[in-house]
Structure 1
Amino acid sequence: MINRLAISGYRSLRDVVIDLGGLTVVTGANGSGKSSLYRALRLLCDVAQGRIVASLAAEGGLSSTLWAGPEKFSRDMKSGAQPVQGTLRTKPVSLKLGFGSEDYGYAIDLGLPVPSSSRFASDPEIKVEAVWVGEMYGRASVIAERRGPGTRLRDRASGTWRESSAGLSPLDSIMTYRADGGDGFELLMLRERMRGWRFYDDLRTDRDAPARRAQIGTYTPVLSGDGSDIGAAIQTIREVGDARTLAATMADAFDGATLGVGEQFEVEMRQYGLLRPLAAAELSDGTLRYILLAAALLSPRPPELMILNEPEASLHPDLLAPLARLMLKAAERCQIIVVSHARPLVDALAGQAATTLVSLEKQLGETIVDGSAASGWAWPSR
């Protein structure tokens, strides 16, 4: 389980360290930094996919994703006695992302490239990476690191360092180019775990949504990020998963309704008083979205980490209580992060002992964690 998440220099997240639990609820007003925190998690996952630079480019490049305020606030700025203004920069421009778990931790530091005439001169570069044993970074616990093009891995048997003879491109991560079954075994294992993270923020329910169409059915133990394989995912739950809980949550949310899967793996719902089941194309946006969320949360092979971004979208307030109950049950099998500003959902989850509540707010354009003492964290130096 990831116990700690650290982000520095990304949009409004100038320097944030957040303690995570088995079920973490991130909430706050509009513009408080919830979406930035969610996107930062996606960027971390993109490192393992080998597309961190491309993802930053899609967001407008490194310059548009960096913290836009001063490097630090003076006391007079914070009190309002002096207007917020730029200060003399003392540190290199950087965007840092990292996490610490029960067994391994990882951090990456991205910066600006050396000026050149190339048309790709604005691409960010990976300056530093480190993988260590345990939750907190420390020189003695590092097992793999990269500084500039140079990389080295700690020998698993002797504990000595093995330097790489081939320099690494500034666009390539050690997570994808130094992971192997030898000294890079820990990198390989951590990379595959990160690749298994599941993000659900694009569960389409519009008229042309893939979830409303007939599908080719194959064994689907984990719902896809866009919900296009919902029929196969539901059938997989019914055959090898927790079919009883699926049936109970549908009946709980929709007054005794039952869920089925047609011959072409299209979702069907049978409701009391109707002579035939309603096909997915006939279901309301909210009903279909709840079915998609249920399929994700009841996955027979849950990911180590599941992130739900504003799952309350399109849902009637009456569905938030059963959704909260479903999330609490799913959190018994995998770690879940829920990003939401729906007060009924947040309150239903926050009152449980298993829930860690993270409230974000803005001060002088900077996202801070409301009412939380600063957690310890150390970044690898360049």
Structure 2
Amino acid sequence: MIERLSLRNFKSIKDEVFDFEGLTLFSGLNGMGKSTALQSMLILRQSYDKHLLPDIGISLTGEYVCIGNGNDLLFNDAEEELIDIEVIWSNSSLDLHFDYSEKSDMQPINKNDEDIKGTPFEESLFTPSFQYLSAERISPRSTYDVSEYAVNQRRSLGVKGEYTAHFLAEHGNDAISIKAFKHPDTLTDSLIDNLNAWMSEITPGTKVIAKLIPEINKASLHYRFSSANAITANFRPENTGFGLTYVLPVVTAVLSARSEDLLLIENPESHLHPAGQALIAKLIAIAADNDVQIIIETHSDHFLNGIRQSVKSKLIDADNVCVYFLSRDIDSSEHSVQVEKVAIEPSGRIEYWPKGFFDEWEKSLNKLIESD
């Protein structure tokens, strides 16, 4: 499990240290740099996949993230042209320093200052135990791409969840690895049965049907909906609303996770109603409590409150949850991120609420109850 991430001169981050837990949340207003911490880890992963690490440097454009060139990466007010990324695990660490190349999408490693301890490239960030889902996930459609390499070699759903239908067609009957995921309404441990049960809490009676179509090298996706005495015909994803298909990769990634996996998920709550957002938070809390490390970027107070409820209900320990709020001082001459750590108490309460941290509901309520 990643224990700490340190960044210096990395985009809008001047010099910050982030301590990680089983579940780590990044929040903040738009454009405040909350994606930056995730991007630093994604850059390491895609650079390793390109065989650039540990000897050559980091690639700023690739499968997981596209930042641009060195000018887009280096902190705007950097005092020296050097970018530092340090990741610490329990038995390994990477402390890497990169020289600045303004117009290149590859930043060369400074071999004189690098420090590698243990076997960091055997950690989940660099193995098939890694899964990343971006905020820009695949839209509803009847057929999806297939990838033998992604699905069966890397156990990947794709950055946009584009291989989710293929993954379910191949592995839907596999047993879930973490028994705590077993839904009380299911009789089996199969991934597809438990997926359907959890998805039914978002939209009642949901049945996901994923099949391979070898003739055209595609996978199909349909939904059925059951009631007390009937099951509907198949519905195309285009006719079931955006939310179901958009959240399907998230639920699939969590339920198919194994102990010591690493999941990075952007906006898992997107396109869901408030109860659905809280449910996804509950499912993610259960995963993190069972040794799946999950790093989340979120804009949702419903998701945050779902995590708080999970802490109060003891689905996850408060000490296993870490929340960061990123903001900027608009009166400062320096374009840098300010990072505040927000603690969730075992009761689920939050005593310290930074200004701008999920406080819009309270602001709106106060305006509504103000006397004219």
Question: Same fold by TM (over 0.5)?
Answer: yes
TM-superposed CA distance for 1:367, in Å, is 1.4
Bigger radius of gyration among the two: 1
**Equivalent residue for 1:67, pick from 60, 72, 75:** 75
Q: Cα–Cα, structure 1 residues 215 and 360, in superposed 2: closer, same or farther, change >3 Å?
A: closer
Does residue 18 of structure 1 match 2:18? yes
Give 1:287 shift: 1.0
Task: Return the letter of the residue paired with 2:59.
Answer: A
Deviation digits for residues 287-314 of structure 1 (CA, Å, limit 9, x no counterpart): 1012121111111557721100122222
Asked if 1:54 is matched to 2:59, the reply is yes
Give 1:231's aligned residue: 165
Q: Which structure has the higher relative contact order (CA within 8 Å, separation 6+)?
A: 1
Cα deviation for residue 252 of structure 1 reads: 1.1
1:20 Cα offset (Å): 0.5
Structure 1 residue 19: Cα displacement: 0.7
Task: Write out aligned runs for 1:1-382 (5 A).
Answer: 1-49=1-49, 50=51, 53-55=58-60, 59-69=67-77, 71=78, 89=79, 92-112=80-100, 124-127=107-110, 128-133=113-118, 186=119, 189-190=122-123, 193=126, 196-201=129-134, 204-206=137-139, 212-213=142-143, 220=152, 221-235=155-169, 236-241=171-176, 242-243=189-190, 244-262=193-211, 264=213, 265-272=219-226, 275-299=232-256, 301=258, 304-331=261-288, 332-351=290-309, 352=311, 353=318, 354-363=320-329, 364=332, 365-371=335-341
Deviation at 1:123, TM superposition (A): 5.3
Any conservation in 1 of the 2:124–2:262 contact (CA below 8 Å)? no
Residue number in structure 2 paired with 1:157: none
How big is each residue's C-alpha offset from its partner over 1:218-263, in whole Å with a ceiling of 9 and x where there is no partner? 6644422222222232241333334343232022111122222346
* Equivalent residue, structure 1, for 2:356: none
One-letter amino acid of the counterpart of residue 254, structure 1: T
Partner of 1:154: none
Distance between the aligned counterparts of 1:213 and 1:63, measured in 2? 39
Q: Distance in 1 between matches of 2:280 and 2:125?
A: 29
State the AA in 2 paired with 1:355. Answer: V
Normalization by structure 2: what TM-score?
Answer: 0.69
3-state DSSP of counterpart to 2:35: helix
Aligned AA (1:131): I
User: How well do the aligned residues superpose, as a CA RMSD in angstroms?
Assistant: 3.1
- Give ranges in structure 1 of 5+ residues lacking alignment: 72-88, 134-185, 374-382
Helix, strand or coil for the counterpart of 1:346? helix
**How far apart, in 1, do the equivalents of 2:163 and 2:259 lie?**
16
202 and 303 in structure 1: CA distance in 2 versus 1, 3 angstrom threshold:
farther
Distance 1:129 1:290 in 2: 40
Where do 5+ consecutive residues of structure 2 fail to align?
Answer: 177-188, 214-218, 312-317, 344-372
Aligned residues: 293
Partner amino acid, structure 1, of 2:165: G
One-letter amino acid of the structure 1 residue matched with residue 323 of structure 2: L
Report how far residue 215 of structure 1 moved.
Answer: 5.5
| Paired AA for residue 162 in structure 2 | S
Aligned partner of 1:204: which letter? R
TM-score by length of structure 1 reads: 0.67
- CA deviations over 1:100-147 (Å, ceiling 9, x no partner): 11110112111136x9xxxx88953211322124xxxxxxxxxxxxxx
Q: Secondary structure at the match of 2:303?
A: helix
